[in-house]
């Protein structure tokens, strides 16, 4: 069961005090950990004892610098809730070529204000069958063209020295078919087919598929793949080359947890649990969000608190707030430290297309009703597509909205096919029968910057850049950690070159995964260029947010009526400070009202308001208004 580690440095032996600290942490969680483990794995004490011995090995492999960080962060458990945290997600190859290249670009990242760096999947995966790196063939090797595991550890050390936390994806639902376990399973080596879901016929797979929704019905239909060479069916929820792991087998949980800890011991601060709702399968269910998933995540949280308390778990849960919230766990039995604010992101783009803020306000009311210790990562764009998982029952009740027709409208708008739209995106996984296509494109291109740039229309350009900055201001106004997608800080546009690449042309997500344009980024300090306007404008917003306590994660947040269906109003209050933020989601000059008493000053562009009865907003304009007197 044990896999050989290849750490950059030999593990330092734990001093007696360190060993005592580990034992104290283990003792704090031991009873609950044993109870959950044995309940899930039917009292398999031998497997549990092995699990505990693996935790001790992983602790012994943790270098002194990381142990010191563990102690510092244990003493400051809210370190990741600071309002000066700013994230950026990027592809190593597209941003700087290699991990050493990323290390050399740390000064640029610091200039952007970034202190939370999320590297897109970079572990070894087979060329042409990787799903963007999400089909891992070795959890302990880096993709060779990007560097080595030692390079990753050196980068983590450099980031830590500069006060920057490093995040990495942990693909836990499946492995590549090229993984050592999968190869042995295919060859019939005893003990390995049990790590996956193998069946001799289609009888059981057909029963699963009666209740399990398809993830990619057009590009990878079904949830099983027939292996001709061994005459077996294997579960493949995502793509045929990604084999689902069977977490009902304790060997899988033990070894995957050790892989997670191996990455933590290389200096990774945040582990993104990819597709975590899928990891437990049970016949007769939809194999999503089953209770056993929460048992597994709770155990992983305890494992981190025992071995590497400075490491955070970020859950990728692509659902509405009501279904997302359980992945935080409870105050006494926490699970993930952070989750993605996926629905707010999708609703934001819906609001831009419709110009109506009603759904976004409804969405924010739901988020604001959650406990304040629930921490979300907020973003406008990421490596993935935009799925239109909106609250359609609410839209139907209040506007009579038809879901299929509305999704078509949104995709037509953001691909520039709807009259009046300057957005430039592309559909992803288009299924005309269901009208359920998703959307790809960079923030700037979706805001109209690409069209304005192409048409050499200065009026359109000013308006689209204003739209881009307004959306970023809205993201920064939300509680949680704001995360930029690499290139958005300088308004990078769509990259259509993927259409010429045989390995990428079928996946339109590569539209917004283009190489970082360093020549255009060199213009970021020139306010006469659009790159300069976007970079300088965004940095100003980030600086204001860093300095103003009203943006604190513990603030009370509520929405307010603005007298306009096109203007979103948000109030943040913290320790006697009140901030009113107004966002115009239309391309027209508007007047908004807000019945918050007192005088206010505008934090970004300056100006004073004796009251908020009439606030003039430019097209796609916004204001951050701080109360100066009650």
Residues annotated as part of the active site: 274, 316
- 315 burial level (CB within 10 Å; 0-12, 13-18, 19+): buried
Burial 93-119 (b: 16+ CB within 10 A, else e): bbbbbbbbbbbebbebbeebbbbbbbb
CB 122 within 8 A of CB 99: yes
What number of CA atoms fall less than 13 Å from residue 121's CA on the CB side? 21
Distance CA 37, CA 158 (A): 37
- The owner of tokens 């060997």 is 251
Alpha helices per DSSP H over 231-357: 250-265, 291-307, 321-324, 342-354
Pairing between β-strand 174-176 and β-strand 556-560 as defined by DSSP bridges: unpaired
CB 196 within 8 A of CB 182: yes
Pairing between β-strand 481-485 and β-strand 87-90 as defined by DSSP bridges: parallel
Distance CA 395, CA 336 (A): 30
- Report the candidate in 217, 220, 224, 221 with the shortest Cα–Cα distance to residue 283: 224
Written as one string, the DSSP assignment of 15-73 is PHHHHHHHHHHHHHHHHHHHHHHHHHTTT-HHHHHHHHHHHHHHHHTS-HHHHHHHHHH
CB 274 within 8 A of CB 336: no
List the structure tokens of 337.
């430290």
What number of CA atoms fall less than 13 Å from residue 215's CA on the CB side? 17
Strand partners, 198: 234
Distance CA 429, CA 420 (A): 25
Distance CA 262, CA 243 (A): 22
What number of CA atoms fall less than 13 Å from residue 290's CA on the CB side? 17
Distance CA 89, CA 92 (A): 10
Distance CA 509, CA 404 (A): 22
Neighbours of 35 (CB within 10 A): 10
List the structure tokens of 323.
């279904």
CB 521 within 8 A of CB 490: yes
Query: Where is 114: in which H helix or E strand?
Result: none
What is the dihedral sign for C-alpha 381, 386, 390, 392? Answer: positive
């Amino acid at each position: 069961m044990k896999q050989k580690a290849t750490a950059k440095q030999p593990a330092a032996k734990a001093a007696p005090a360190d060993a005592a600290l580990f034992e104290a942490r283990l003792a704090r969680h031991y009873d609950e950990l044993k109870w959950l483990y044995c309940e899930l794995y039917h009292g398999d004490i031998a497997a549990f004892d092995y699990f505990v011995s693996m935790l001790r090995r992983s602790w012994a492999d943790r270098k002194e610098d990381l142990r010191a960080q563990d102690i510092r962060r244990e003493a400051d458990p809210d370190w990741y809730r600071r309002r000066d945290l700013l994230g950026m997600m990027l592809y190593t190859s597209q941003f700087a070529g290699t991990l050493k290249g990323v290390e050399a670009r740390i000064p640029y990242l610091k200039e952007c204000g970034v202190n939370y760096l999320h590297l897109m999947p970079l572990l070894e995966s087979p060329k042409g069958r990787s799903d963007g790196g999400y089909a891992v063939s070795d959890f302990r090797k880096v993709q060779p063209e990007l560097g080595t595991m030692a390079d990753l550890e050196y980068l983590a050390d450099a980031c830590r020295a500069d006060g920057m936390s490093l995040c990495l994806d942990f693909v836990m639902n499946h492995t590549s078919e090229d993984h050592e376990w999968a190869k042995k399973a295919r060859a019939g080596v005893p003990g390995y087919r049990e790590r996956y879901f193998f069946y001799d016929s289609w009888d059981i797979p057909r029963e699963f598929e009666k209740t399990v929704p398809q993830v990619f019905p057009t590009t990878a239909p079904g949830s099983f793949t027939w292996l001709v060479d061994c005459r077996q069916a294997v579960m493949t929820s995502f793509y045929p080359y990604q084999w689902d792991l069977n977490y009902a087998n304790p060997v899988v949980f033990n070894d995957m947890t050790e892989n997670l800890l191996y990455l933590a011991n290389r200096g990774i601060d945040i582990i993104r649990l990819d597709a975590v709702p899928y990891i437990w399968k049970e016949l007769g269910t939809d194999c999503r969000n089953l209770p056993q998933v929460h048992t597994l995540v709770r155990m992983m949280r305890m494992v981190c608190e025992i071995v590497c308390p400075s490491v955070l778990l970020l859950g990728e849960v692509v659902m509405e707030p009501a279904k997302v919230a359980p992945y935080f766990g409870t105050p006494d039995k926490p699970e993930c430290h952070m989750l993605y604010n996926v629905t707010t992101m999708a609703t934001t783009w819906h609001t831009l297309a419709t110009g109506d803020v009603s759904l976004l306000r409804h969405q924010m009311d739901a988020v604001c009703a959650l406990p304040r210790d629930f921490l979300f990562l907020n973003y406008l764009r990421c490596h993935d597509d935009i799925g239109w998982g909106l609250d359609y029952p609410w839209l139907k009740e209040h506007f009579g909205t038809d879901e299929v027709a509305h999704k078509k409208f949104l995709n037509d708008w953001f691909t520039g096919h709807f009259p009046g739209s300057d957005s430039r995106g592309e559909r992803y996984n288009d299924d005309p029968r269901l009208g359920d296509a998703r959307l790809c494109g960079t923030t700037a291109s979706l805001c109209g910057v690409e069209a304005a740039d192409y048409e050499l229309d200065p009026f359109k350009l000013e308006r689209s850049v204003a739209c881009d900055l307004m959306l970023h201001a809205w993201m920064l106004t939300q509680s949680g950690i704001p995360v930029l997608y690499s290139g958005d800080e300088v308004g990078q546009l769509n990259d259509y070159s993927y259409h010429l690449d045989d390995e990428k042309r079928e996946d339109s997500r590569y539209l917004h995964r283009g190489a970082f344009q360093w020549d255009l980024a060199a213009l970021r300090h020139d306010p006469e260029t659009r790159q300069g306007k976007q970079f300088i404008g965004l940095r100003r917003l980030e600086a204001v947010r860093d300095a103003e306590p009203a943006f604190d994660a513990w603030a009370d947040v509520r929405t307010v009526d603005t007298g306009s269906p096109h203007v979103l109003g948000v109030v943040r209050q913290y320790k006697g400070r009140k901030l009113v933020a107004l966002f115009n989601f239309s391309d027209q000059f508007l007047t908004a009202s807000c019945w918050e008493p007192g005088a206010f000053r505008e934090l970004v562009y300056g100006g004073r308001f004796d009251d908020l009865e009439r606030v003039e907003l430019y097209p796609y304009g916004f204001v951050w208004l701080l109360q100066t007197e009650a």
